[in-house]
């Protein structure tokens, strides 16, 4: 391929496709390259897609996109071996337009989204690996691919190549990520008839539920599990930071197996048939791990830039917004005919003003705190379950005595000062 493009986008996940779509809509000549057989074929996600950021790219996308269910209930479980302390919110306003968020199956959604970029004028080639960026005089001027005569040139290359971003590493934008900067997650799609899902989760046809599960789901290690409803299947998965997995000698597949057989989870899955088994890394280093995102002729978006808010399980939305912001910066650079780092720097400014950098900054020390002080997941979750059991068991003990007994047993075990310190530290980590 000898022609030159305005933009080459590497990767057809949500970050890459948002960028390709927005650039093509602005009349730029765009090539998007995906190594998978089709967009979505290599992508893994628990499945919650956020309406707001997608709508900013394609208004009212829910009228035609292949979505599973609008989420109307979000539950949070703090799980112990044979119990669960839960809280959450269910609201019928989320069952109506404009909705809040949706469950999706990425293999379907990514294909549809990439097709929209193609309709907007972007050229998509699949089953093609970008092996390196071509750098001339300190500027990225194109990419090499694994195709014969596979060198292609462009004014700007956008790296939307996901969590490992070998291309970002090649350019020296980041080093190999440390085990505490990524979470290893395994998930399974389990087919289950619609009526069973509706009965078990107390839903109607076009209503979905998400459950985030902490505590025993990761054997008390830093991480979470999830159980989400699709139309006729469930997504169940679990992950911890790679460092926790190594330290605790956990095998991700064992964790998933134990989760599926946990007495609080098993009844939801009964009779289901496993349809797909997937494993993937999530970049969870947050604010401190964001690499360089702008260079001469190159921008980095989505997971490749570590844009994931693990506390709120937001990744696809940050991918989409960063892809869109990168496209807008490219359009500006084109107007100035300046594709240097300075010409593209409006991307960095837009990121700093957006929810992406603000949220990553807010939680910049959260994961490190919970990793360094494992008592939150290991000790407090079982303690809270025991406290709830004591408090809600009707045995003739006056409630005030129960309260005193619960506080006494908590502080006796850990010491009053330690408990207060732990509460203060946790508050500082999330404030
Ligand atoms: C188990 C799990 C659950 C998750 N749950 C949620 C959730 O519920 N909600 C949420 O918002 N986020 C969730 N996330 C995070 C979310 O999936 C990511 O943040 C999002 O997919 C990032 O999009 P992306 O486009 O940056 O990267 P990706 O979706 O990873 O896309 C990168 C693409 O680049 C391609 N590629 C890579 N290298 C090359 C190359 N050299 N040449 C050509 N193509 C290449 C890949 O094949 C891939 O298609 C979850 C992640 C995991 C793993």
State in Å: Cα 174 to ligand 1 middle.
Answer: 18
- CA 43 / ligand 1 centre spacing (Å): 5
Q: Which ligand 1 atom sits nearest the alpha carbon of residue 322?
A: 26
What's the rounded Cα separation, in Å, for the pair 294 and 342? 9
The tally of CA atoms less than 13 A away on the side-chain side of residue 142 is: 13
The predicted pLDDT at position 372 comes to: 85
pLDDT of residue 67: 97
CA distance 108 to 65: 9
| Displacement of CA 91 from its chain's centroid (Å) | 23
Residue 42 has a pLDDT of 77
Ligand 1 centroid, distance to 168 Cα (angstroms): 15
pLDDT at 2: 62
Residue listed under structure tokens 């570590």: 306
The preferred substitution site among 162, 311, 313 for testing ligand 1, maximizing ligand atoms within 8 Å of CB, is 162
216 alpha carbon – ligand 1 mean position (Å): 27
Q: Tokens representing 329?
A: 């910066």
- Are 277 and 256 in contact by the 8 Å Cβ rule? The answer is no
Of all atoms in ligand 1, which is nearest to the CA of residue 41? 49
Gap between the Cα atoms of 333 and 299, Å rounded: 12
By alpha-carbon position, which residue is closest to atom 33 of ligand 1?
Answer: 11
For residue 429, the model assigns a pLDDT of 85
CA neighbor of 122 nearest in space, from 77, 181, 57, 62: 57
Strand ranges inside 43-114, DSSP E: 48-50, 71-79, 84-90, 101-103
For every residue of 159-222, DSSP letters joined together read E---TT-HHHHHTTS--PPPGGGEEEEEEEEEE--HHHHHHHHT--TT-EEEEEEEEGGGTTSS
Q: Which atom of ligand 1 is nearest to the CA of 48?
A: 8
Residue 125, phi-psi category: left (phi > 0), alpha (psi -120 to 50), beta (remainder): beta
DSSP 118-147: HHTT-EEE-S--EEEEEEETTEEEEEEESS
Q: pLDDT tens for the chain, 431 residues: list them.
A: 567 999 999 999 999 999 999 999 999 999 999 999 999 997 888 889 999 999 999 999 999 999 999 999 999 999 999 999 999 999 999 999 999 999 999 999 999 999 999 999 999 999 999 999 999 999 999 999 999 989 999 999 999 999 999 999 999 999 988 999 999 999 999 999 999 999 999 999 999 999 999 999 999 888 999 999 999 999 999 999 999 999 999 999 999 999 999 999 999 999 999 999 999 999 999 999 999 999 999 999 999 999 999 999 999 999 999 999 999 999 999 999 999 999 999 999 999 999 999 999 999 988 888 888 888 888 899 999 999 999 999 999 999 999 999 988 888 877 888 888 888 888 888 88
Residue 109: Cβ within 10 Å count: 26
Output the residue whose Cα is nearest ligand 1's atom 53.
280
Grouping H, G, I as helix, E, B as strand and the rest as coil, residue 263 is coil
Q: Ligand 1 pocket: which of 21, 39, 43 to mutate (most atoms <8 Å of CB)?
A: 43
Q: Which residues of 169-195 are buried (b: 16+ CB within 10 A; e: fewer)?
A: eebebbeebeebbbbbbbbbbbebeee
Could you tell me the distance, in angstroms and rounded to a whole number, from the CA of residue 279 to the centre of ligand 1?
Answer: 12
Query: Separation of 337 CA from ligand 1 center, angstroms?
Result: 31
In ligand 1, the atom with minimum distance to the C-alpha of 185 is 1
CA of residue 13 to ligand 1 center, whole Å: 6
pLDDT given at position 411: 84
Whether 219 and 82 have beta carbons less than 8 Å apart is answered as no
Ligand 1, residues at Cβ distance < 6 Å: 10-16, 33-36, 42-48, 129-130, 160-162, 185, 187, 237, 280, 282, 302-304, 308, 313-317, 319
User: What distance in angstroms lies between residue 367's CA and the mean position of ligand 1's atoms?
Assistant: 20
Nearest C-alpha to atom 41 of ligand 1 is from which residue? 130
Handedness of CA 281, 285, 287, 291 (dihedral sign): negative
């Amino acid at each position: 391929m000898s022609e030159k493009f305005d933009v080459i986008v590497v990767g057809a996940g949500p970050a890459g496709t948002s960028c390709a779509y927005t650039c093509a809509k602005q009349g730029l000549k765009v090539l998007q390259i995906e190594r998978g057989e089709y967009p979505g074929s290599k992508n893994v996600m628990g499945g919650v897609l956020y309406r707001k950021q997608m709508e900013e790219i394609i208004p009212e996308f829910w009228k035609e996109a292949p979505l599973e269910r609008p989420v109307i209930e979000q539950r949070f479980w703090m799980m112990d071996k044979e119990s669960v302390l839960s809280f959450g919110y269910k609201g019928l306003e989320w069952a109506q337009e404009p909705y809040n968020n949706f469950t999706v199956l990425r293999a379907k959604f990514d294909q549809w989204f990439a097709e929209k970029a193609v309709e907007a004028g972007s050229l998509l080639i699949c089953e093609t690996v970008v092996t390196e960026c071509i750098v001339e005089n300190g500027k990225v001027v194109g990419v090499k691919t694994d195709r014969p005569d596979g060198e292609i040139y462009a004014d700007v290359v956008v790296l939307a190549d996901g969590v490992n971003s070998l291309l970002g590493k090649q350019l020296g934008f980041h080093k190999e990520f440390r085990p505490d900067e990524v979470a290893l997650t395994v998930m399974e799609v389990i087919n289950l008839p619609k009526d069973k899902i509706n009965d078990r989760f107390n839903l109607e046809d076009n209503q979905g539920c998400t459950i985030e599960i902490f505590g025993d789901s990761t054997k008390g290690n830093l991480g979470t599990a999830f159980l989400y409803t699709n139309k006729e299947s469930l997504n169940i998965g679990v992950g911890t930071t790679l460092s926790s997995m190594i330290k605790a000698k956990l095998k991700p597949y064992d964790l998933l197996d134990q989760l599926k057989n946990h007495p609080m989870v098993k009844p939801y899955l009964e009779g289901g048939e496993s349809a797909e088994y997937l494993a993937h890394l999530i970049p969870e280093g947050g604010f401190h791990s964001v690499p360089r995102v702008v260079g001469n002729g190159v921008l980095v978006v989505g997971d490749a830039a570590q844009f994931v808010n693990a506390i709120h399980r937001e990744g696809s939305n940050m991918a989409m917004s960063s892809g869109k912001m990168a496209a807008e910066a490219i359009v500006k650079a084109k107007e100035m005919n300046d594709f240097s780092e300075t010409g593209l720097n409006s991307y960095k400014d837009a990121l700093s003003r957006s929810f992406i950098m603000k949220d990553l900054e807010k939680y910049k020390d959260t994961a490190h705190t919970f990793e360094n002080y494992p008592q939150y997941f290991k000790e407090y979750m079982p303690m809270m379950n025991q406290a709830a059991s004591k408090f809600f068991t009707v045995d003739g003990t006056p409630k005030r005595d129960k309260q005193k007994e619960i506080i006494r047993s908590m502080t006796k075990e850990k010491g009053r000062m330690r408990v207060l310190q732990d509460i203060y530290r946790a508050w500082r980590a999330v404030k």
